[in-house]
Chains A and B, each alone.
Chain A
Amino acid sequence: MVLTTEQQAILNGEKGETLAKVMKTLVMYGEAFGAEKMVPITSKYNHLVTSFGLKVMAPVYDLMQQLLDAGVASGQKFSVDPRPLDKNVPANFLQNFVFNKFMYTKQDFYEKQLMELGLLDEDAFTCACYMDEVGNKPQKGEVLSWAESSAVVYANSVLGARCNRNSGIIDIMGSIVGYVPYFGLLTDEGRKATWVVKVETTKKPEAQLLGSAIGMKVMEDVPYVVGLDKWLGTELDDAACAYLKDFGAATASNGAVGLYHIDKLTPEAVELGESLIVEGAKEYVIDDAELQRVQDNYPVIWKNPDATPKLCFVGCPHLSLQQLKDWTEKVEQGLKDSGNKKVLIPTVFTAPPKVLEAFEKTEYAARLKATGVITSYICPLMYMNNPLCKKMPVITSSNKLRTYTSARYYTDAQILQAITKGGKV
């Protein structure tokens, strides 16, 4: 890699040993992918993935402390993934004990570190930082040092920004030195599609199921998806963006997708069309049967597969304001149809703190509360990633949550039926 005089000076230790190690990490990271240079980060804000003060992650907090002790700080303010705990979310005595006394004992300490390193504010905890209410929304072509797989794939695909699938810690190291190695999804070549995915379903495919199928098939490659405009249209309106948020999260967690193009819809596909597809690209056809096959093959790891669900999570990644409103109407209608007054399963809808704040100002908030649904800013994944929750039959419409926990995946329609009408899904 060829470094500028300034970058080389940092690497040589002229600005301290710790900063030299940060630069060495980034140089080695870039060289692993054949990067020949570092390029400046051009986004206003960064986004970090590590939001949780888990005791076992002590090496991460030790490293952060080394950075703070050396007087280095992020050159950008940043948002960060959701908090792991919220007292509004149902938890029994034992769960609360494990959460607070065993698992997340470093939470307060780590949040203090984040504030010192450059956290935007106390409400900047969400995986969907790009929502208007949150305000960390990069522009097309901007270079980022973000982590959080669902945010990275959204920024690349829907916003047209440029970001590799950086790991936690690498994310903040980029904004400490102000540069990232130039490779992969930062380059024009790396943004070309090596797969063509043809959507040939007879109805609008479930976003998180379609994303799961594509992620498992293409792994970390870039897919160019045709046939989805039939269901989403050709405008990136609220509905399309919410769909792509959920779709992308599933491609990134069930596989390792960092960028997708949707024909006639996402910015680079609109601009460059099929010239984005490399010669000899592989093909994957998705019809109703293929989606059913994918869903049927998810492992069921509940001890009793027929257990009555004890908790339902919707909102991984976090819901948008419009999604909260839409769900409110659907839950109300479902309850009306079934003659029930409140949801039959404890249900939590998760969204960014600032979206929840905006939601509370609408008439929908009281209506949703009346259905018995709880709203929270929590990260459902962090809530569930422990043996106690593993024993609980939890249902979700999030394929990301399904991937990492014992939660069982159902489509939005199936979830609605389960929480409003009950019975076997």
Chain B
Amino acid sequence: MKQFKGRVVTPGEVTAEAVVTTQGFNTLASLQMPLQFGDKEVKCSDQNNAELHGKPLIHKALCLPQTIGSTTGGLVLYCACALGKNPACMLFANPIDSLAAAGAILADVWVEGVTMPVVDSLGDEFLNYVKDGMMITVKADGVVEVDG
């Protein structure tokens, strides 16, 4: 088990299985189709992301450098949270970007009963170490435990 320390963007504690992308996560391209057409597993629909395309994202620990793409990204993430179809947590190697931050904060402030811990600035070492299927525990203070 290895520990990483990041910064808490939105608080919470959770344990979930990792899905990992080492390229930017395009929120609109990844989530809009599965949300729109009722995919219960919320399988990633971004054809430009070979690491994630077709993989379920719901209830997973999404490990990523940052999000990219159009500015609907934040509200798509907000909708995913409001509909209960969000990842269990989002863990950023880099400092968070403005779209992901907006989505997570909108959900935190405006959606009752939803918790999606978001931790950023975990560093490149985190993203180099974590692999699909590893179990991840997020602590309230931004400590992320990866059980390989």
User: A residues engaging B (CB < 8 A)?
Assistant: 21, 24-25, 28-29, 32-33, 49-50, 54-60, 62-63, 103, 147-150, 152, 164-171, 184, 215, 219-220, 252-256, 298-299, 301, 385-387, 400, 403-404, 406
Residues of B within 8 A of A59 (CB): 78-79, 82-83, 111
A75 CB to closest chain B CB (Å) equals 19
What are 7 A-to-B residue pairs whose CB atoms are below 8 Å?
Answer: A28-B105, A54-B36, A56-B79, A164-B98, A256-B24, A256-B68, A256-B99
Expressed in whole angstroms, the Cα–Cα distance for A103 and B33 within the complex equals: 11
Expressed in whole angstroms, the Cα–Cα distance for A299 and B46 within the complex equals: 11
Does B133 have its Cβ within 8 Å of any Cβ on chain A? no
Residues of A within 8 A of B47 (CB): 299, 301, 406
B69, A149: Cβ atoms under 8 Å?
A: yes
Residues of B within 8 A of A219 (CB): 24, 65-66, 68
* Majority-rule SS of A interface residues: helix
Q: A25-B109, A60-B79, A403-B26 are in contact. Are A169 and B68 (CB under 8 A)?
A: no
User: B residues engaging A (CB < 8 A)?
Assistant: 9, 24, 26, 28-29, 32-33, 35-37, 47-48, 50, 65-75, 78-79, 82-83, 95-99, 101-103, 105-106, 108-111
- Most chain B CB neighbours (cut-off 10 Å) among A152, A170, A254: A170
B75, A168: Cβ atoms under 8 Å?
A: yes
Considering the complex, give the chain A residue whose CB is closest to the CB of B10. Answer: A28
Contact check: which of A28, A33, A168, A215 meets B74 at CB < 8 Å? Answer: A168
A167, B36: Cβ atoms under 8 Å?
A: no
B102, A170: Cβ atoms under 8 Å?
A: yes
A191 CB to closest chain B CB (Å) equals 15
A50, B75: Cβ atoms under 8 Å?
A: yes
A28, B71: Cβ atoms under 8 Å?
A: no
Residues of A within 8 A of B69 (CB): 149, 252-253, 256, 403-404
Expressed in whole angstroms, the Cα–Cα distance for A60 and B35 within the complex equals: 14
A222 CB to closest chain B CB (Å) equals 14
Expressed in whole angstroms, the Cα–Cα distance for A166 and B78 within the complex equals: 14
Residues of B within 8 A of A386 (CB): 33, 36-37
Expressed in whole angstroms, the Cα–Cα distance for A253 and B101 within the complex equals: 18
B69 CB to closest chain A CB (Å) equals 6
A33, B68: Cβ atoms under 8 Å?
A: no
A21, B68: Cβ atoms under 8 Å?
A: no
Contact check: which of B9, B32, B48, B71 meets A32 at CB < 8 Å? Answer: B9
A149, B71: Cβ atoms under 8 Å?
A: yes
B67, A256: Cβ atoms under 8 Å?
A: yes
Residues of B within 8 A of A184 (CB): 98
A167, B9: Cβ atoms under 8 Å?
A: no
B68, A255: Cβ atoms under 8 Å?
A: yes
A32, B105: Cβ atoms under 8 Å?
A: yes
- Most chain B CB neighbours (cut-off 10 Å) among A148, A167, A256, A299: A167
A261 CB to closest chain B CB (Å) equals 20
Expressed in whole angstroms, the Cα–Cα distance for A59 and B99 within the complex equals: 17
Contact check: which of A55, A168, A252, A404 meets B29 at CB < 8 Å? Answer: A404
Q: A32-B105, A56-B35, A299-B47 are in contact. Are A49 and B98 (CB under 8 A)?
A: no
Expressed in whole angstroms, the Cα–Cα distance for A166 and B106 within the complex equals: 12
Residues of A within 8 A of B75 (CB): 49-50, 57, 60, 167-169
- Most chain A CB neighbours (cut-off 10 Å) among B32, B68, B82, B111: B68
B83 CB to closest chain A CB (Å) equals 7
A21, B36: Cβ atoms under 8 Å?
A: no
A129 CB to closest chain B CB (Å) equals 13
4 nearest A-B pairs in the assembled complex, by CB-CB distance: A167-B74, A167-B102, A59-B82, A168-B75
